[in-house]
Structure 1
Amino acid sequence: MKAAVLKKLTTPLAVEQIADPEIGTGEVIVDVAAAPVLPYAGEVFDGTRQDPIELPIVPGCGAIGRVRAFGPDATHLTIGDWVFCDPTVRSRDDARMPDITLQGWSARGEGGLRLQRHYHDGAFAERIRVPTENAIRIGEIAPQDAAAWCAVNTMLVPYGGWLAANLEAGEIALVSGATGNFGSAAVAVALAMGARCVIAPGRNAQALDDLARHFGDRVRTVALTGDEAQDRQRMMQASPDAIDCVMDILPPSVSTKTVRAAAMAVRPYGRVVLMGGVGMLGGDDLALPYPWIMRNDITVRGKWMYPPEAVTRIAGLVHAGLLRLDHFDTTVFALDNVNDAVTHAAANGGPFRMTVLVP
């Protein structure tokens, strides 16, 4: 089969013929119809992000495709089923504390690297092998819509955050990092889940205007000034009522002051979920006042990715028309042009912009 291979950091991906993946018990082979190219893919491939990754590798984080073959443990899949290839692979030998790897992307800890050595190659290929539980049916879709369905890959991340925050219909949510790729998706997902209103702070005026244009009065945008106290006050004033939960999904380059300004805008008894990358490249750690957390009964938790059942649930939101894929402006590249796709993704990684490979 044809695949894009990363052989060495800082070098372009090589498109070449490699062996087809071989199926084993507990695995599924999927014909890749479309695979998203993340905006920061170039930073992974050149080593800037320092993600744990063993080379050579066929990269690619998630895909939409059709089942080609499955093992004897599959009881519901059929050949030709449309599935989302969930890149979040969990070890099966400790349900309480599973090791995790992002297939074709990165690993977490030594256990994650061991897992990655088996589920090594990702979706920048004509076919991919995934664990049975990671080939998740999304229902019947038109083949020409496969690229648009790659938006699920982006929206699943903040969806996992909102599930962790126990966001309920009628509540008010705040997205710290609302003008970014995942942050803008977090706004869309919160509204689809029934949020009364989403507070969307950011520095990019055009991106804030786009959010308001997409979603109307249910989104209240806030232009950040860089002054922590002032920004917190502006967020709270923009909300029609007390803010029930805050999700931070800011990138590594942002100051912890921006995170704290948003987190401490939450109401007493509120919830804060941390999903971003702040601090991963150095800098100050996030400091939240002990008395504020304790006396206001604040719940603060971290969340990485999403639970397995989230894929089925978010597909339901899409099929119901509550979560619209047409918010995304999608640019499609052939697999032969994978390096152009990586460059395009980096330059067009803002709200509701998506770069997709179609093998």
Structure 2
Amino acid sequence: MAIITKTHSLFSEALGRSDAFLSFQEQLGAVAKVDRPVVIIGERGSGKELAAVRLHYHSTRWQAPLVTVNCAALSESLLESELFGHEPGAFTGAIRLRTGRFESAHQGTLFLDEIGTMPLTMQEKILRVVEYQVVERLGGSRPMEVDVRIVAATNANLKSMAESGRFKDDLLDRLAFEVLHVPPLREREGDVLLLAEHFAARMAVELGLSTAPRFSKKVLEILEGYPWPGNVRELKSVVERAVFRAKGSEVIRDVVVDPFARTGRKVVEASMEPSAVSRQENGSTERGAGLLESMNLPDALADLERRYLEHALRQARFNQRKAAKILGLRYHQFRGLYRKHSQVQAELNNTDM
């Protein structure tokens, strides 16, 4: 079941040295000392739960429990029972008394992960707890006081949800004493290689290797140039897979970003010959040229942009900063164009099959 009560180690620290990372950690440290609810916003895999852990252990509540609930993993009825507990006979199957997560987190922190998925009726009940610091078990009639700091996390736009009626304005106002935005990995310049080396060293120990393998220059370029939509979690999987597949080699010469792709297919082979890249580019150009005849002007321009992106990325070996220079764009302009044509990576993968 995806409801976890954890005693986290004080050594569960995030790693990074980029300005974006250090600035975020500074914000965390400052907010931790203020005993108020906090909302953490971040993309999948960016470290929202780790941020909640740091908030707890840098707060005055650090010696009390930190309780985690994944709101997306349970139906409304189960979520209510888990949060508030129930008395025997409260519903079919409720044989014994169950303590709710609010009670378990008394004097500590309750981390509500994926709060954007919580039904409106549950939001109303959470609002009551935030306002009055009391809970009632299902089937019970005695209000119980609880002293809990709520930290909520989501990758959804809660403000937009509130405007459309999918999230309660009052609850958002109560929870958002401070809103922290976890920086995505693509904005943490220099942290990718630091994290990659860290994950490689840990995987080497797990595999019983005497030393951690090094990354070849081409692999380093791939790691730095890839946009990492899955953030740190995705990077960890990719690096661990690369260390495993290196089979004890001192140097990692290729990485597999998509393990579901056909066996042997890589995002980029470090040993790929320039002629092979040229053949792939020519094939892509030939496939795209015939499409212009059947397109209207906006579609044709969009197709041309995609093909320019594809060509530049291949020429730069998927290093986005180099690709931006090839196209004569500033990096943030290139990133905007890349996001606009998010299917570029999928198209590139298909051409590599």
* Shared fold (TM-score, shorter chain, > 0.5): no
Greater RCO, 1 or 2 (C-alpha within 8 Å, sep 6+):
1
TM-score, normalised by the number of residues in structure 1: 0.30
TM-score, normalised by the number of residues in structure 2: 0.30
- More strand as a share of residues: 1
- More helix as a share of residues: 2
